[in-house]
Amino acid sequence: MELAGKRVLVLGAGRSGTAAARFLVARQARVALNDRKPIEEWSAEARALEAAGVKLFSGDVPQWLLDHIDLLVVSPGVPTKSIAVRYAERASVEVIGEVELAFRFLRGQLVAITGTNGKTTTTALVGRLLADARLPVQVGGNIGTPLVALVDTSRDDGWTVAEISSFQLETTDRFHPRVAAVLNITPDHMDRYETFNDYAAAKHRIFRRQTEEDWAVLNADDEVVASWASGLAARKLFFSRRREVERGIFLRERTLVARLDGGERALLRTDELALRGAHNVENVMAALCMGYACGAPLESMCETARRFSGVEHRLELVAEVNGVRFYNDSKATNVDAAAKAFEAFAEEAGRIVAIMGGRGKGAPYAPLAPLVESKARALVLIGEDADRIAKELGPYAPAVERAADMRQAVARAWALAQPRDVVLLAPACASYDMFVDFEERGRAFKAAVQELLNEATSRKAEDA
């Protein structure tokens, strides 16, 4: 793909768009960057691109600009039904996303991982499995480092492991992962997709260019994902927590079992895993399937899986204060993820004080009702969707309180909790009403917990 001299418009000045603009201008493209936010609200990195020759535009894209471009690069947060995208398509201008742009220049082999939940943990684990097996590997995509920022460090004999969202898959064309996985599909982003089938179809695009030389990793327990198997060209590996599979990895009682290359082998027990929760057992099995497809030895991968304790903002133990443990699951941005967080503490002696709320995604909160009824001591609600959560889940909770910010939410949760309880940040919502992203929300929770811990430590010192 020749970029020198091409007139390129990048829509969206967030992390992905900024990285794409930087990549394009470094290859002598003539670049314009647009975002609906006023330029003064853009990141310093985005504003700094002006000094490199990038033209910056805020608000609606001027029609004259759309009439003079050769390529449109769309950031994940920009809907493909936006006026600018539709205008470009009608004018026969090529429209791609940052992931597609990156793929056209990446060297080596690609592992792509999507799904409603578990993407980040699984992506990080696959990267660790390959690294510990001494395979050249780098990790990025929706997990943090934009894929386009990994082009220059990719190598012909290496692997790039990428978390890919449905939004990113919408704007792919030639995107062709050697190993592609769909972990699960449950209702999410219903504020963007008209139907659940539209959302699932976006996920399915990850397999679009695969051939019989490639690998598809599928969740055999997910009805939608499993139904795709017969229509895929790639070789298939399945993972399952509920039944034995013909080829892949499954759970037999409490042991992970591999059925690969015509043989069967016990790998490790679930109580050996550092990750907690049944959903993380699924993530480990999926990661092991992908590692196998990449050529990593099972022995090495099992050792890594035993040590891997997860990533920040995913069921992250922050602290224990006077017998109450605080867990940060800020990445639980939808109802299904919040349910998995609750289920991870199903066998705990104490109860859960859950901090929930934010910007809802249009899905009902009702699936959480049985978990709230059986396990919650209280709900502390924040953000735009607090009223809706209170209406749908309040009747099932012993107590419901509101908080204006995260610091107040943590203080109220702490006041409600009893020894052996868990204070769990599992918002079931996006963060954009109060925070830049889920990471900032998670850091705010951790900072508030640290304040509590410091105060408790000071009081103990004074009493001594």
Domains and CATH numbers, the chain: 7-98 (3.40.50.720), 106-307 (3.40.1190.10), 316-457 (3.90.190.20)
Burial of 247 (0-12, 13-18, 19+ CB in 10 A): middle
CA distance 94 to 277: 44
* Catalytic position from the list 34, 117, 184, 189: 189
What distance separates the 2 farthest-apart alpha carbons in the chain? 75
Residue 145 tokens read as: 């480092």
- Per the annotation, the verdict on 142 as an active-site residue is yes
Is residue 446 among the annotated active site residues?
no
Q: Average of pLDDT values for 306-335? A: 90
For residue 128, give both structure tokens: 């660790």
- The residue whose two tokens read 């939940």 is 117
The predicted pLDDT at position 455 comes to 87
Q: What is the tens place of the pLDDT at every residue in 184-232?
A: 998 766 567 789 899 999 999 999 999 999 999 999 999 999 999 999 9
Strands (DSSP E) found in 166-288: 179-182, 215-219, 235-240, 248-252, 255-260, 263-269
User: In the predicted model, is pLDDT for residue 376 greater than 70?
Assistant: yes
Query: What pLDDT band is residue 462 in, cutting at 50, 70 and 90?
Result: low
Burial of 439: CB neighbours in 10 Å, binned 0-12, 13-18, 19+: middle
Rounded mean pLDDT, 429-450 = 95
pTM of the model: 0.79
172 — pLDDT class (breaks 50, 70, 90): very high
User: Which residue carries 């990446």 as its tokens?
Assistant: 106
**Res 189: pLDDT:** 66
Burial of 107 (C-beta count, 10 Å sphere; 0-12/13-18/19+)? middle
Q: Is the per-residue pLDDT at 51 higher than 90?
A: yes
Counting every residue written for the chain, the total comes to 464
Residue 175 corresponds to which amino acid? F
Q: For residue 15, which of 41, 46, 38, 39 has the smallest C-alpha distance?
A: 46
**Strand pairing category for 159-163 and 255-260:** unpaired
Residue owning tokens 């992203």: 437
d(CA 248, CA 245): 6
Angle, to 10 degrees, between the axis of helix 119-132 and the axis of helix 298-307? 130
The reported pLDDT for the residue numbered 273 is 93
Between 440 and 455, the higher pLDDT residue: 440
Residues 276-305 have pLDDT tens digits of 888 899 999 999 999 999 999 999 999 999
Determine whether 189 is an active site residue. yes
Task: Give pLDDT, residue 144.
Answer: 79
Cα–Cα–Cα angle for 221, 199, 289, rounded to 5 degrees: 35
Q: What is the pLDDT of residues 93-146, one digit of tens each?
A: 999 999 999 999 999 999 999 998 889 999 999 999 999 999 999 999 988 799
Percentage helix, strand, coil for the chain under 3-state DSSP, each rounded to 5: 40, 25, 40
How far apart are alpha carbons 317 and 348 in whole angstroms?
14
d(CA 449, CA 407): 8
Catalytic residue among 34, 117, 142, 219: 142
User: Cα–Cα distances in Å, from 57 out to 74, 124, 323?
Assistant: 15, 35, 53
Closest by CA to 15, choosing from 55, 74, 75, is 75
